[in-house]
């Protein structure tokens, strides 16, 4: 097994995705962690299959292997960074987002989807937050 280097797209949000991928390939990266967001790739926008096929072609062109990353800061709530989490009472949108990330990964041929549990809501009981996280993952 050898070490391969990748870079996450949330570090290139001032660039269009094709330009960001070209920069990464030119810099010698082997892969890219695609942060799902309105900036580069929105998994709930229309025509997931068509957009994913176009992106897969770009990744192949530049020789970049993808993973899918779900950590966009304000993708689900414009006022609350990273909310809702998998531990929040209103976690349904986060679960749907993770499922959309899995669908996106499948379309791209990405073998990895990175998810983040999030932090418990202020004042949430530890056991309740843990139960919500477990149920969310199931």
| DSSP for residue 122 | T
Which residues sit opposite 7 in a β-bridge?
32
**What is the rounded (10 degree) CA torsion for 44, 48, 54, 55?**
40
Q: How confident is the model over 46-75, as pLDDT tens digits?
A: 999 999 999 999 999 999 999 999 988 899
Beta strands at 113-114 and 31-35: parallel, antiparallel or unpaired: unpaired
- DSSP code, position 9: G
- Statement: the pTM of the whole predicted model exceeds 0.95: no
Q: What is the distance between the alpha carbons of residues 84 and 72, in angstroms, rounded to a whole number?
A: 12
Per residue in 84-124, pLDDT (tens digit) is: 999 999 999 999 999 999 999 999 999 999 998 888 988 99
Residue-range domains of the chain with CATH: 6-137 (3.20.20.150)
pLDDT score, position 11: 92
pLDDT above 80 for 1: no
Distance in angstroms (rounded) separating the CA atoms of residues 22 and 104: 21
In a 10 Å sphere around its CB, with 0-12 CB exposed, 13-18 middle and 19+ buried, how is residue 25 labelled? middle
């Amino acid at each position: 097994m050898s070490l391969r280097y990748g870079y996450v797209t949330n570090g290139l949000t001032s660039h269009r995705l094709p330009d960001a991928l070209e920069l990464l390939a030119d810099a010698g990266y082997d892969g890219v962690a695609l942060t799902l967001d309105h900036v580069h790739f929105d998994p709930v926008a229309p025509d997931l299959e068509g957009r994913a096929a176009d992106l897969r072609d770009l990744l192949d062109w530049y020789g970049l292997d993808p993973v899918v990353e779900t950590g966009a800061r304000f993708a689900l709530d414009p006022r609350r960074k990273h909310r809702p989490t998998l531990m929040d009472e209103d976690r349904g949108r986060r679960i749907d987002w993770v499922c959309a990330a899995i669908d996106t990964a499948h379309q791209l041929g990405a073998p990895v989807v990175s998810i983040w549990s999030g932090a418990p809501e202020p004042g949430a009981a530890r056991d309740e937050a843990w139960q919500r996280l477990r149920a969310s993952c199931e």
